[in-house]
Amino acid sequence: MPTLEGSHSPASGGSAVHYRVDYEVVGNVVNYRARFDAAGQPSRHEGQFDFDPARVDAAAAVVAFMQNHIGKADWDVAP
């Protein structure tokens, strides 16, 4: 199972949120398990999303999804 690590700042302009995500691709679906380290509190999330492998590779889709997820989250309340 591939693993990606990175960080991204939330839209609110707070501190960068670091993430580690394990994912698998089944057809055009990415199943993922992610760990986020934000505001001193680790958080876990898992789920799936569709992507178009003809337009973007799976790793790039996962990074974009994580950045979008972090960008929309209110990490001071609940990631």
Supply the pTM of this predicted model.
0.82
Short-list 36, 73, 67, 75, CA closest to 49? 67
Nearest to 48 by CA among 62, 30, 66, 70: 30
pLDDT in tens, 36-47: 887 667 789 999
- Over the stretch 1-44, which tens digit does the pLDDT of each residue have? 899 999 988 766 778 889 999 999 999 999 999 998 876 677 89
Convert the pLDDT of each residue in 55-74 to its tens digit: 999 999 999 999 888 888 76
Is 2.40.30 the CATH number for 3-72? no
Domain boundaries, the chain: 3-72
